[in-house]
């Protein structure tokens, strides 16, 4: 007998519908899967057989052929287990075919018949049309977020067999107690002193300018960077859905409401591999840190310690805002539009107190060169962070809270979007004269810097974008970008430690 069961597979952060066709026929007992299954799908046979037998039904001692349609495109993951088991049960006469007609199935089977969560249920549920979707209890939030049909939660295969045979109603499982709310964002009021760096964070948030923090260990670079997230506005529903799909595909846990509404903050360690940072992998295509940071912040602490090849991989997402993946004839695109914040010591020895550095110029040069010119050039803001003074640490008066700063950031962002449709960092060179016109004195200052070789052509455009953001953050926003705005933008790009001044003209 024959059965056709609806299911889906995950590729990158996209779901693809799959029809699991099962044929059970007389012949020597055998089990074969066709339609480009990978190893994890082939193992489904063992899991499905054990699960069926644990549910009190005998496994057919016949020839079983499973075909995964469409036949092109590699199928990966254990999410097809449930559909394969149900297909065998229908084709062997243990479940009536009409009971599965309007249903789709996603889930991994345990040997005892229990149903387990798989990554990517949200993007997979989104491609299954109006079928009712049968998923493990743990996938309730993800499935309900996007599924058009009803979501049926099932604890194990025996329960499902009883329902499909009409011996029991659909169970009313309650989803597991929701994951705890994400921690509240850290408040910038906790940072003592660091006026320049705090200002740079605000500008970075308002204009989406990439930020490099340079300072000795213990100067609070990480403390500052981790507070950037609290300054960014919540995601729009459309953006939140994009981020949620990536989180679901990565198996990275969703908030209780299902939607990831806060901008993500990711800080991979410098030992992170290329696949870990950029995504990919040889078998399953997994979103990397750059995609998990989509619409949020990617923080690379000790950026000079990351492998050069790993850092080189940042070029594509920084330019395109996405990662293109090709595997066995399939193509997908993983979103990766993030605000890059990096931190590094001023030199290999860590620097520290003025005059304490023992590094020679050659060592310094090598250290800076680990950050290739094109990558260094991406940072519109390069800020020196010094260890806070004792006075600052003892000062009990808190600075502005994140809520206050975030309000200014949101206003400046709205302003930019209304004026030009994009954040300031995305303004093209030709759009600058229209949307960021300069006062004559500001123009003179920039010309002066270029004539003295302190500013390159690329740097010129970057300074103008940052200056636009600085002007937008003023209480009354001026149409013309002023000399003070340009002067501050210049200082925020060049006032970094000795090491990085080697490349200050960039
Ligand atoms: Zn040093």
Phi, psi of 3 (to 5 degrees): -145, 150
Residue 359 Cα, ligand 1 centroid: separation in angstroms? 4
For 28-175, list the strands marked E by DSSP. Answer: 30-34, 63-69, 103-105, 108-109, 115-116, 132-136, 151-154
Coil/strand/helix, residue 382: strand
Query: Residue 215's closest CA among 347, 311, 304, 340?
Result: 347
Phi, psi of 266 (to 5 degrees): -120, 135
Residue 366 Cα, ligand 1 centroid: separation in angstroms? 12
Residue 304 Cα, ligand 1 centroid: separation in angstroms? 14
- CB-based contacts of 61-64 (< 8 A; 24+ apart in sequence): 61/29, 62/24, 62/25, 62/26, 62/27, 62/29, 62/92, 63/24, 63/25, 63/26, 63/27, 63/28, 63/29, 63/30, 64/22, 64/23, 64/24, 64/30, 64/31, 64/32, 64/88, 64/91
What predicted TM-score, i.e. pTM, was given to this entire model? Answer: 0.89
Residue 342 Cα, ligand 1 centroid: separation in angstroms? 19
Residue 198 Cα, ligand 1 centroid: separation in angstroms? 25
Residue 357 Cα, ligand 1 centroid: separation in angstroms? 4
Cα(392)–Cα(346) distance, rounded to whole angstroms?
A: 22
Cα(158)–Cα(361) distance, rounded to whole angstroms?
A: 71
Cα(68)–Cα(79) distance, rounded to whole angstroms?
A: 13
The pLDDT of residue 354 is 61
**Phi-psi category of 280—alpha, beta or left, where left has phi over 0 and alpha has psi -120 to 50?**
left
Contact 71, 138 (CB under 8 A): no
Query: Residue 120's closest CA among 128, 129, 112?
Result: 128
Q: Which residues surround ligand 1, an ion (CB under 5 A)?
A: 347, 349, 357, 359
Contact 417, 240 (CB under 8 A): no
Residue 84 Cα, ligand 1 centroid: separation in angstroms? 61
The pLDDT of residue 506 is 36
Residue 356 Cα, ligand 1 centroid: separation in angstroms? 7
Contact 106, 8 (CB under 8 A): yes
Residue 493 Cα, ligand 1 centroid: separation in angstroms? 21
The pLDDT of residue 496 is 62
The pLDDT of residue 505 is 35
Cα(286)–Cα(176) distance, rounded to whole angstroms?
A: 26
Residue 216 Cα, ligand 1 centroid: separation in angstroms? 9
Residue 296 Cα, ligand 1 centroid: separation in angstroms? 32
Q: Encoding tokens for residue 13?
A: 């952060």
Can you spell out the DSSP letters for 196-230?
Answer: HHHHHHHHHHHHT--EEEE--TTSSHHHHHTTSGG
Cα(392)–Cα(399) distance, rounded to whole angstroms?
A: 11
Residue 18 Cα, ligand 1 centroid: separation in angstroms? 58
Can you give the C-alpha Rg of the chain in angstroms?
28
Residue 369 Cα, ligand 1 centroid: separation in angstroms? 15
Tens-digit pLDDT string for the chain (506 aa): 899 999 999 988 999 999 999 999 988 899 999 888 888 888 888 999 999 999 999 999 999 999 998 988 888 889 999 999 999 999 999 999 999 999 999 999 999 999 999 999 999 999 998 899 999 998 988 898 888 889 999 999 999 999 999 999 999 988 766 555 566 678 888 888 888 899 999 999 999 999 999 888 888 899 999 999 999 999 999 999 999 999 999 988 788 778 888 999 999 999 998 889 998 776 778 899 999 999 999 999 999 889 888 998 998 999 899 999 887 777 889 999 999 999 998 888 876 566 677 788 888 778 877 777 788 888 999 998 888 777 777 776 678 899 999 999 999 999 999 999 999 999 999 999 999 999 999 999 999 998 988 888 888 999 999 999 999 999 888 899 999 999 999 999 876 644 455 433 33
């Amino acid at each position: 007998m024959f059965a056709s069961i609806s299911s889906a597979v995950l590729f990158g952060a996209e779901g693809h519908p799959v029809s699991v066709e099962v044929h059970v026929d007389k012949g020597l007992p055998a089990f074969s899967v066709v339609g480009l299954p990978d190893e994890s799908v082939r193992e489904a046979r063992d899991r499905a057989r054990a699960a069926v037998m644990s549910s009190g039904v005998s496994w057919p001692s016949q020839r079983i052929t499973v075909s995964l349609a469409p036949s092109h495109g590699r199928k990966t993951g254990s999410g097809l287990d449930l559909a394969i088991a149900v297909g065998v049960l229908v084709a062997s006469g243990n479940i009536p075919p009409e009971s599965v007609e309007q249903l789709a199935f996603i889930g991994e089977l345990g040997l005892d018949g229990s149903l387990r969560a798989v990554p990517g249920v949200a993007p997979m549920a989104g491609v299954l049309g109006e079928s009712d979707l049968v998923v493990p209890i743990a996938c309730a939030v993800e499935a309900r977020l996007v599924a058009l049909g009803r979501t049926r939660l099932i604890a194990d295969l025996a329960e499902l067999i009883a329902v499909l045979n009409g011996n029991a109603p659909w169970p009313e499982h309650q989803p597991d107690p929701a994951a705890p709310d994400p921690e509240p964002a850290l408040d910038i009021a906790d940072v003592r002193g660091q006026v320049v760096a705090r200002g740079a964070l605000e500008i970075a948030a308002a204009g989406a300018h990439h930020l490099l923090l340079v300072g000795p260990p213990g100067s609070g670079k990480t403390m500052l960077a981790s507070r950037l997230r609290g300054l960014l506005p919540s995601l729009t529903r459309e953006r939140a859905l994009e981020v949620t799909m990536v989180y679901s595909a990565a198996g990275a846990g969703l908030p209780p409401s299902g939607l990831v509404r806060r901008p993500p903050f990711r800080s991979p360690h410098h030992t992170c591999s290329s696949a870990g940072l950029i995504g990919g992998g040889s078998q399953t295509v997994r979103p990397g840190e750059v995609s998990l940071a989509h619409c949020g912040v990617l923080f690379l602490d000790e950026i000079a310690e990351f492998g050069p090849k790993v850092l080189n991989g940042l070029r594509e997402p920084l330019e395109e805002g996405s990662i293109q993946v090709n595997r066995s004839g399939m193509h997908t695109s993983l979103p990766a539009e993030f605000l890059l914040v990096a931190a590094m010591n001023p030199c290999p020895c860590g620097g520290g107190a003025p005059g304490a550095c023992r590094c020679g110029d050659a060592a310094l040069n090598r250290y800076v060169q680990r950050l290739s010119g094109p990558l260094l050039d991406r940072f519109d803001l390069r800020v020196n962070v010094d260890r806070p003074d004792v006075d600052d640490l003892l000062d009990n008066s808190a600075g502005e809270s994140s809520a206050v700063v975030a309000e200014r950031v949101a206003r400046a962002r709205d302003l930019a979007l209304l004026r030009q449709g994009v954040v300031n960092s995305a303004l093209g060179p030709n759009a600058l004269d229209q949307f960021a016109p300069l006062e004559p004195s500001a123009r003179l200052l920039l010309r002066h810097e270029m004539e003295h070789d302190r500013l390159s052509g690329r740097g010129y455009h970057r300074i103008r974008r940052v200056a636009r953001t600085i002007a937008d953050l003023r209480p009354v926003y001026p149409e013309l970008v002023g000399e003070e705005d340009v002067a501050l933008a210049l200082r925020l790009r060049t006032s970094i430690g000795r090491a990085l001044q080697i490349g200050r003209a960039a």
